[in-house]
Structure 1
């Protein structure tokens, strides 16, 4: 039986030993990158042989360049995040020992906050700018998993509560990487509906295809990263019915430029905030619902079309 005092009695990590934590935290994403690239290449070949419309060469190039940039950004901020995690760990009076089984509760708690971070990223425009990169692809394939925003690390603030539980920093960083790697396999058209119990618990390809759909019934649904039961619990679940239409409501033109893919929404936000009159309008264009922002901008650009549509 686990002794509570022993589990929560870990000593603080001295500053001069942080390098041992860095070496002890496996770089799973870096190790997994060649495997993901190989599987993506295989899917591309199969798609080409079967003449399936699952890939677009320019979009795939954009996804690859965005993914490579994400690896560089991740490596650059890793040490800073590690120091931050160790500092928080040292402040906790309930520090956990490094035990393999603590990966399980940490993963479940991490996924809960991942659900809310993901949901907020869809409901508030500033945070949408850190996530729209992932949704800007109009085709659904394994390369879409590479489309991770270069500024997505801003969302680390949503995961601070996980660190406050006192999990060992190596456990925290291992869990965060496994959570990212899990989401690779769900970005495919080749895996259809899985057995009901799996679809009920996990974020499967079918569940996640819904999340990438741009139809009204699919928008802002199925946020779960690993577990889909969060969506069932909080009322955001949607079953895959008709085939999703992928992309965002206003798709981008420059599909291969990783800088445009990453920062086009930020540029739009800056322009809208500058042009808005009054604090409330500026705040709306910065933190309002992306769907409502798009609707109001469309109304402003085509007022006659809106009037005619309402009169039908």
Structure 2
């Protein structure tokens, strides 16, 4: 019996073919795309370690010698950290608002049957087709009418509204995938609708909540157009506006501008790199749901 088993294993090993490596053209194209994406980022980071004379003489060269003063001057300035604080406040408030409101709306759409449910879901889906550039003029008028010009809430509230469609579209499949038997068992045990939402829905929807939270945070952190229209006082600037303002003020100091830009994009890059798998896993779960 053992001899037959070993023979069968050997035959299976012979029939197994190695995984195909694919066409070399695919790998070449992938490397070119990666280089095009990482090239500007690397150039900006290295440019911050150079002097203006080095950039003028050899724009594509490496730092020689390495200059640390540019990064030190930016990192020790209150202007930079004030803009970091503003961006953090706006991003966190946008994320909390979009996740809270989106989760509540998704729960109603996914778990309740009522007239117009499909139309309501289609309305959120249609919101994905309207970028903020289309509504920037009406938004400006509304924010000005509410007296929120040049304030962080004037940026936060519209960003929450524009983050809701993505949040709802991703969360609804998660909540629909929760078996009805769990809800029925919870009701039999005396669990009300709100209690079921807090005790069952939120823990089961954690992957989706994390995904939409990350997307809302990164989208808010990188937002430029809306803060440009709403914020006029430099003390209220977020980092994207800060980079533009700094670049205009120090246009002759290219090395310092590159250092400021590098430090401004590092938080978003680190945040996205740490939670990249969460985003992919959450979107995969939404598609399966």
| TM-score of the superposed pair, with normalisation by structure 2 | 0.30
| TM-score of the superposed pair, with normalisation by structure 1 | 0.28
More helix by share: 2
In our comparison, the structure showing a higher alpha carbon Rg is: 2
